Amino acid sequence: MRAVLQRVRDASVTVEGKVSGAIGSGLLVYLGIGSKDDDAVALALLEKIANLRIFEDTEGKMNLSLLDTGGEMLVVSQFTLYADTRKGRRPSYDDAAPPAEARELYGRFVDIARDKGITVATGTFQATMDVTYTNEGPVTIILDTEKQS
């Protein structure tokens, strides 16, 4: 799995003119699901995201996690995180999970986050979405489970 995290003051996603999901302070998570990903990978990534200390404490140091702050999470599916641009000019998405498998694992990722007590909003899977947010910091972090140890 690959994720791009953005620490936000607020974020929302709109589909066909209607807000699909919105949050206040927390994380906007663009989530890409690979063809080799499974529940164990989803759980490990969610643990990393929920406990990553990227929110400021009272001294202004990034020392608090999403769980520490009670922040919210907006999860937006994004298969394009698996774009392979090494050949030619058209990206290949061969390493992305097929849509049916990705939808299922995306749903489980969201469920796991909610089970941890995180307030989660979502985009609409396989829809064209407009995402609006205020990046706080700015803080943007890229996670790739294939590169984590």
Catalytic machinery residues: 78-80
The two structure tokens encoding residue 147: 């590169």
DSSP assignments along 47-113, one per residue: HHHHH---EE-TTS-EEE-HHHHT-EEEEEE-GGGG-B-SSSSS-B-TTBPPHHHHHHHHHHHHHHH
Cα 27 to Cα 18: distance, rounded to the nearest angstrom: 21
Pairing of strands 120-122, 130-144: unpaired
Of the candidates 26, 30, 51, 20, the residue with the CA atom closest to the CA atom of residue 106: 30
